[in-house]
Structure 1
């Protein structure tokens, strides 16, 4: 194989980010096979054709049709969560590699079916990966390296937040992300899934037990007009129920003994995309904030107290993860680069015949954590994952 034909299902926000990744990856990284953007799939013919500007050679409206195409080897799923399981399982059974956006599914049962399908497919050399793109931010990849090297000693505490404010205005209209049937959950699944995966990735450990609470601050919202345009601001005059959480907070115990506190909210006024993680260990600490994404704060507790303090590491040196393919030191990367790194890692895994990470099994683990938090919020008890 010299080329890897890609079909992408979905073309909104995530579709644009993934398209950028597929376009850019082979131009900056030396890849063993060449990704080819074969076909884009979306339900609306007009919008799908218009999305062709993202770089796709063809556009279709039936995702099932791409499974029969010889020029498609990998299916990239960028649709709402209620469609992930059906598309992913069908693609894997058709012998297509799969990249599926997070969270893996809308329920544990769906995630189990997807993980089982991925395991069966792997026996035939077909690979599957879930799209937790923040793993590919160089500063977070460096954080994992430092923990793996033992620079923090034994990890005691993890604190993780994902803070946004895009629906703090009660007049913001309903969207699919506020519909449990389509999204599975609200802030918990949409952004909380990221900090669950990122902390487990950094620690090389899994969450074993949780207790949490969830809240919906605005239970009714305006219904967007049928032809509201790209802004989505025009409303019909009607209101509808918000069936997901606006915020979720939970405590966690990791299997290795560390304690964790997690907060995911879309009501943190003034915070746009503040994914924050701090890890404290017996020999040091590290801290990260995505709103300053090229920086990792590191404290070396073994240094003499007279000179010890948090060190600001600008993660743009060629020896840092992924960075050597890009710009000279000090010239920072952005949000989109993590998706490029994700595409690079997946292409290499497919070409080498190895299992990519995070796997569907990893996605299932995150899904189990999300489900345990929801159960805990309802029962007000600690829940095993």
Structure 2
């Protein structure tokens, strides 16, 4: 029988649920040399975390993440809490010899990301591995797109268009949740949505961004405090508070391989629920993808006979497509949750084989470098901001 891999989850919100489902499903779906065991979950509210553990099949629970990190029966620490806690938890877990999976973006600041990447490099010399949870890399259609780019189907990539459009805070009376407070989230649409775009462009093209010019905007400056929005009173329970992050971020970029790119991230696009869109144009063709139709990839071959050419719709559900050999028969679509199962599979395999997982903390540092550059450019009035990154980390 395969050996076990004992998982400790920190955080039990939206991402905690997605990761819990993945750890439960990954071993039955994929043939793994290590079987993940949901061993413990940590959260600040003792009653809430106990209820979560019962509901999602965690064997035990802690109300202090430090106790979870210190436990001898934990092999992997999975971090799904807000970004303000990422660095402290990850550094402690790596020091304790635990493998670490950390949700994106890697940190709230460039300094934190740099410290995390450095610690991850040091830990890797002791066989302790780490990975950033950019789950969209594990969408089969996007993994297929990367294969097409790597094989030369698009030729030289010249244009990148990347947009992530949502609408969930377009109502000005939506409460001031943690994602709208810089001290907890780091940034707004930029870090929450734009980070995915920056990572995916690197994943798909292999080109990193060498410079940006950006603008950001906060459309709704104040919002009801959460308790006030719920009609409750008490300390901090009435009135409104300042929104301290961006509602939208737009920037142009140059890539190190010569491509030029446009990026847009917003939570103020009414009717767009999770429209993450990528289009690449190359010397031999194009491809486009929209996560609201996540099983489809559209590919154009510019070398074909013009009289019969056009975008080809590929339904990425065939067993030869990435990850699909373990899932359903052709034509039976996957969903958002499956990207987390595929991600868990890749992390387990990296640990079992002792190979560096991707995206690494260094990849996360690269993304944080771009986010920092975007914020700096916007703050300086859309000034062009050249970017550099630490190759040695």
With the shorter chain as reference, the TM-score category is over 0.9
User: Does the alignment pair 1:168 with 2:167?
Assistant: no
Following the alignment from structure 1 to structure 2, what is the Cα–Cα distance between the partners of residues 31 and 250? 41
Contact 2:228 2:239 in 1 (8 A): no
Contact 1:222 1:236 in 2 (8 A): no
1:50 deviation in Å?
A: 1.0
Task: Spell out the pairing of 1:131-170 with structure 2 (5 A cutoff).
Answer: 131-170=133-172
**Structure 1 match to 2:216:** 214
TM-score, normalised by the number of residues in structure 2:
0.95
Following the alignment from structure 1 to structure 2, what is the Cα–Cα distance between the partners of residues 15 and 226? 26
Following the alignment from structure 1 to structure 2, what is the Cα–Cα distance between the partners of residues 368 and 38? 34
Following the alignment from structure 1 to structure 2, what is the Cα–Cα distance between the partners of residues 375 and 252? 14
1:204 deviation in Å?
A: 1.1
Task: Spell out the pairing of 1:220-239 with structure 2 (5 A cutoff).
Answer: 220-225=222-227, 228=230, 236-239=237-240
**1:226–1:94: structure 2 CA closer, same or farther, 3 Å change rule?**
farther
Task: Spell out the pairing of 1:1-385 with structure 2 (5 A cutoff).
Answer: 2-52=3-53, 53-225=55-227, 228=230, 236-379=237-380, 380-385=382-387
Cα displacement string for residues 323-352 of structure 1 (whole angstroms, at most 9, x for unaligned residues): 111111000000000000000000000010
Q: Look up the SS of the partner of 1:225 in the other structure.
A: helix
Contact 1:253 1:260 in 2 (8 A): yes
Gaps of 5+ in 1: 230-234
Following the alignment from structure 1 to structure 2, what is the Cα–Cα distance between the partners of residues 37 and 228? 34
1:314 deviation in Å?
A: 0.3
1:237 deviation in Å?
A: 3.8
**Structure 1 match to 2:390:** none
Gaps of 5+ in 2: 388-393
TM-score, normalised by the number of residues in structure 1:
0.97
Cα displacement string for residues 46-92 of structure 1 (whole angstroms, at most 9, x for unaligned residues): 11011111111101111111222221000000000000000001100
Runs of 4+ in structure 1 deviating by more than 2 angstroms, as ranges, are 226-229
Cα displacement string for residues 98-130 of structure 1 (whole angstroms, at most 9, x for unaligned residues): 000000000000000000000000000000000
Q: Look up the SS of the partner of 2:308 in the other structure.
A: coil
1:187 deviation in Å?
A: 0.2
1:290 deviation in Å?
A: 0.2
**CA-atom RMSD in angstroms:** 1.2
Contact 2:154 2:284 in 1 (8 A): yes
User: What count of residue pairs does the alignment treat as equivalent?
Assistant: 380
**1:364–1:293: structure 2 CA closer, same or farther, 3 Å change rule?**
same
